[in-house]
Chain A
Amino acid sequence: MAIAREAEPVGTLKEVRDAGLDREDLLGVYRNMLLTRGIEERGHILYKQGKIPGSFYTGRGNEAASVGVGTAMGGDDVGTPLHRDMGVHIVRGVEPWRIFAQYMGRADGPTRGRDGNVHMADSRLGLLAMVSHLPAMLPVAVGCALAFRIREESRVAVGWYGEGASARGDAHEAMNLAGTRRLPVVFICDNNQWAYSTPTHLEYACETLADRAQGYGFEGVVVDGTDVLAVYREAKRAIEKARAGGGPTLIECLTLRMEGHAVHDDAFYVPKEMFEEWAKRDPIERFRTWLRENAELTDDEEDEIAAEIKKILNDAIKRADESPLPDGKDVAEHVFASAEDLDTPHHK
C-alpha cells in the first residue's frame, strides 16, 4: 500500500483555469512540448550525420514532465534540470540555436564547448548546469533554497533526479537536510522506469519513490508524467506551498523512457509490449487530443504552430552551424574565476 498521494488527472478547461493557465498559456505549453521534442529529434539527426561529437541523449516521453514543472516555476525560482528535462530549458527561454551550438561543441553554446549535450544551463534564466554524477545536483538545489531561506526571499528551488539516481546517497542527504530545515525546495523524480538497462525492481524496493518523502517529514505525490496538466498542477501546488513556508514536496513523475539510455543504445532489454503500451500515452499526442476536445484547438492552429516550430528549428541549426569551434589554445583558460566574474546578478 503506497503512502504517497496519487495525483488526479486534470479534466476540464475550467480546472486548468483554476490552476492558473488560460488558453493562450495552454497553446504555449503545447508549443514548448513540440519544440522540446523537435530539438531532440533534430539533434539526433545531426548526431547521425556526424555533426555532434560524443554521445547524444534524449528525453522522449518526458516532455510533459519537464514542460509541466518548468511552466509551474516562478520567474525568480531556480532549478537544476537533467538530461531528460530539455523542456525546462525551453520554458525558461534558452534560445534553441544555443542548444544546438552546445550539442555541436561550438564556442557559442552555453558551455562554450567545455561540456556537451544537456550539460548546460543559463544561470541568468535561473538554471544551474547539471553534472553526470546523479543526483549530485540535489544538494546544490537545496543550497539555493537555503540561500533563499537565509535571506527570507520568497523564491523556490526545484531539484531533479531520476529513479536510478534515487539509489545514491546525495538524494538522501539533500532531502534530509531540506526536511529538517523545511527549506523551499521541490524535488522532482523523473521515474522513467529504466536506469540504463536496470529495471525499477532492482533499483528500489518500496512501492513508490514518493513514499520516501514521509521518511524526510514532507509530502510525496505520484503523478502521471505523461499528463502535462496534472504535472503542472501538482508542481504549482508544491512550489507555492514551498514559497509560503510549507517546506519541501517530492513529486514522482511516472513515465517511460521511450528510447535507449543514449542514442547508441537500442534498449533491447525493455519489453516490446511496454513500449507499445506507453506509446499510446505519448505526452504530446495526449495533450493535443485534450486541447482539441477541451480547448477547441483547430487544424489551422496546429498547422501554424507546426510551421512555427519548423522555422525555429531550421533557423537555430543554421545559426548554430555558423558558430565557430572553440580555439584549442584556450583549453586551460577559465579554470579559475576572477573577482570580476563574480559581478553577476546572482553574486551581488
Chain B
Amino acid sequence: MAVKTYLQAISDGLRQEMQRDRRVYVIGEDVGVYGGAFKVTQGFQEEFGPWRVIDAPLSETAIVGSCTGAAIMGMRPVAEMQFADFVSCAWDQLVTVAAKQFYRAGTPVPIVVRCPSGGGFSGGPFHSQNPESSFAHIPGLKIACPATPADAKGLIASSIEDANPVLYFEHKHLYRRIKDEVPDERYTVPFGQARIHREGDDVTVVTWGAMVYTADEAATALADEGVSVEIVDLRTIVPWDKEAVLKSVEKTSKVLVLHEDTRTGGFGAEIAATITEESFENLDAPVRRITAPDSPVPFSPPLEKAFLPQVEDVVAGLRDLAGY
C-alpha cells in the first residue's frame, strides 16, 4: 500500500493489466513515444513495445473501430481518447457497432475507451466536457466514473476484464490533485456497486467523479451547522447502484443529485426519476438537482466558474433541503 495520485493509480492499474495479460494493448494519439497527453502511459512503450502501445493517426473512428475488430479476434484493447470530448468522433463505432454487436450477433466486444473528462482549467468547449450521459442512454455500453485513486485502479482492471464495451471517464481535475492509499496488488472494483464516501443522517448527495469532492467540502462546511450529509459515490453509472441510493434515501428522506454534466437529460434526471418512482413515500422534500447549466463549457475563468457546480452552490442546496 502506498499513497498515489489518481493519475498514477490509473497508470499502475493499466500497466499491471498489460503485464499479466498479453491480450491487453493500448492505442491512441501520442500514447507511445510521448506517453499520452497526460502521461498516463509514460514508459509503456519502452516496457511493452510499439505493437502493444500504438501511436495512432488522428482517427478516433479508426481507433475505436479497430479496437472492436481486435477484441472480437481475442484481444483486450484499451483506447485512449486524448480528451473525452473527442469521443464524439467515435460515436458511430461505439454506439452503432460496439454497443449492439453482442445483442445482434452474440459476439462480445470487450474494449475499454479511456476518456479524460471534466473542466476546471479553462479548457473551453472542446476540452472540458463530461459526456457520460449521452452514452448512458445507449444500451450495451458500460460506464465507469471513478473518484478515488483506489477506485481508479480497481475499475481500470474490471473495465478491461469486462466482456462489454466500457467507457472509462477519468476526471482530469483529479489527476494530480487527489492522492490516497492504493493497494499494490491487483484487484478489481465491481461495476454497479456504489461507495459511501461519507456517512450522514440528514441529507443524501448522489454524485460521481470530481463532484464527490465538491460534495465533501460542502458537507464539511455544513457539519458546523449541525447538518449531517451522506455522500453516495456511484463509481459506475452503467450499471448504477440503485439499491445503495434508495437505501440512503430511506435513511435521510432528502436527496440532492449532483453532477458536472449539463442539466437536461443528464444522468441525474434518471436518478431523480427513479427515486421519485420507487421511493416517493420516503421523501420529505422534492428531489433536488445541482448540475451545470444547459450551455457549452465556456473558456473564460468567471464563465467557467459559473458553469461548474461550486461548493457554495451545493452548500446552499443542502441547507435548503435540510430546512425543508
Contact = CB atoms under 8 A, between A and B. Distances in A.
Interface of A: 78, 110-112, 114-115, 119-121, 123, 128-129, 131-133, 136-150, 157, 169-170, 173-174, 176-177, 180, 332, 334-339, 341-342, 344, 346-348
Contacts of A115: 104-105
Nearest to A157: B69
Nearest to A181: B54
B74 A346 contact: yes
B32 interface: no
B299 interface: no
Interface in B94-127: 96-97, 100-110
B102 A336 contact: yes
Interface in B36-86: 51-52, 54, 56-57, 59, 61-62, 64-75, 77
Contact of B72 (A128, A131, A334, A348): A128
B140 interface: yes
B163 A339 contact: yes
B93 interface: yes
Max chain B Cβ within 10 angstroms of own Cβ: one of A139, A174, A335 = A139
A140 B104 contact: no
B25 interface: yes
B130 interface: no
Nearest to B139: A335
A131 B96 contact: yes
20 contacts: A114-B104, A115-B104, A123-B107, A133-B96, A140-B66, A140-B68, A142-B62, A143-B65, A150-B51, A150-B52, A174-B61, A174-B65, A334-B102, A334-B106, A336-B163, A337-B102, A344-B107, A346-B72, A346-B73, A347-B74
A143 B68 contact: yes
A128 B101 CA distance: 9
Contacts of A146: 54, 66, 69-70
B312 interface: no
Contacts of A131: 96-97, 100
B108 A347 contact: yes
Nearest to B109: A337
Contact of A337 (B56, B73, B75, B164): B164
Interface of B: 25, 51-52, 54, 56-57, 59, 61-62, 64-75, 77, 92-93, 96-97, 100-110, 139-140, 142, 161, 163-164
Contact of B163 (A78, A148, A341): A341
B106 A144 contact: no
A148 B97 CA distance: 20
Contacts of A129: 101, 104-105, 107
Contact of B164 (A112, A136, A336): A336
Contact of B61 (A141, A157, A169, A338): A169
Contact of B69 (A132, A140, A169): A140
A180 B75 CA distance: 21
B25 A128 contact: no
Given A128-B69, A157-B69, A347-B110, A341 B102 contact: yes
A341 B102 CA distance: 9
B59 A121 contact: no
Contacts of B66: 139-140, 142-143, 146, 174, 177
B97 A136 contact: yes
Query: Top 3 A-B pairs ranked by shortest CB distance?
Result: A139-B65, A143-B69, A143-B66
Contacts of B92: 133, 136, 170
B70 A144 contact: yes
Contacts, number: 157
A54 to B, nearest CB: 14
Given A121-B105, A140-B97, A148 B73 contact: yes
Contacts of B69: 128, 139-147, 157
A143 B62 CA distance: 8
A144 B61 contact: no
Contacts of B77: 143
B57 A150 contact: no
A23 to B, nearest CB: 35
A114 B74 contact: no
A327 B165 CA distance: 26
Contacts of B61: 139, 169-170, 173-174
A176 B59 contact: yes
Contacts of B62: 139, 142, 170, 173-174, 176-177
A174 B90 CA distance: 13
A128 B57 contact: no
Contacts of A346: 72-74, 107
A77 B68 CA distance: 17
Given A139-B69, A170-B65, A110 B105 contact: yes
A120 B97 contact: no
Contacts of B139: 332, 335
A173 B61 CA distance: 7
Contacts of A149: 51
A195 B107 CA distance: 29
Nearest to A152: B51
A89 B77 CA distance: 27
A341 B109 CA distance: 10
Contact of B108 (A119, A341, A348): A341
Contacts of B73: 78, 143-144, 147-148, 346
A93 to B, nearest CB: 17
Nearest to B73: A147
Max chain A Cβ within 10 angstroms of own Cβ: one of B51, B108, B109, B163 = B108
Contacts of B25: 150
A147 B97 contact: no
A132 B161 CA distance: 29
A143 B68 CA distance: 7
A263 to B, nearest CB: 22
A170 B66 CA distance: 11
A300 B142 CA distance: 59
A177 B104 contact: no
Contact of B140 (A133, A335, A342): A335
A121 B101 CA distance: 11
Given A148-B73, A170-B62, A335-B103, 9 more contacts: A111-B106, A136-B96, A137-B97, A140-B93, A146-B66, A174-B65, A174-B66, A336-B140, A339-B161
